[in-house]
Amino acid sequence: MFIPPSFIYGLTGIILFLVGFGGLLACTHLLRKILAVNIMASGIFLILVTIAFGNGKVVDPVPHAMVLTGIVVSVSFTGLALAIACRVQETANFSQLYKKKDNQNGADNS
């Protein structure tokens, strides 16, 4: 059975998006959330580029342009989010949105 390479790319994009989305919901640490959003964005970019490839005859440049803008916006978002996360860590002295109860006395192991 022949699997076209674009299908594998699309599947990888979907998996990346799901991994990032799961991480965004499951991780409590702010830095992990930011990283998860980045992974999600990578998945979306991969899906978009794969869709742009289409049947391979005429490559659609519009999704390419969207991905190009998207990458720069995601970098900008990451920078701003990291700065805000730093502020939260310093002012409120916490970096996790939710702390496990059974872990309160022990060392922070995440």
Partner 1 sequence: MEKIEESLMIERKNQTHRIFFHSLLLILLAFFAFILGWAYLSPAPGSTGLGVLVDAQLRESGVENRVTAVLLNFRGYDTLLECFVLFLGAVGVWSLTPSRLRWHESLDSPILASLVQLLVPLMIIIAGYLTWFGTLRAGGAFQGGTVLAAAVVLLLLASRSTWQKIPLTLLSYGLIIGPAFFLFIGIACLIPGGNLLQYPTGYNNILILLIELVAAISISLSLAALFGGRRPDAPNNTLTTGTER
Chain residues that interact with partner 1, rule: CB under 8 A: 10, 14, 17-18, 21-22, 25-26, 47, 50-52, 54-55, 58-62, 64-66, 68-69, 71-73, 75-77, 79-80, 83-84, 86-87, 89-90, 93-95, 100-102, 108
CB under 8 A, 24+ apart: contacts of 87-94:
88/30, 89/30
- The answer to whether 54 and 60 have CB atoms below 8 angstroms apart is yes
State the minimum distance, in angstroms, from the CB of residue 2 to partner 1. Answer: 16
Give the up-direction half-sphere exposure of residue 103: CA atoms within 13 A in the CB hemisphere: 8
State the minimum distance, in angstroms, from the CB of residue 35 to partner 1. Answer: 16
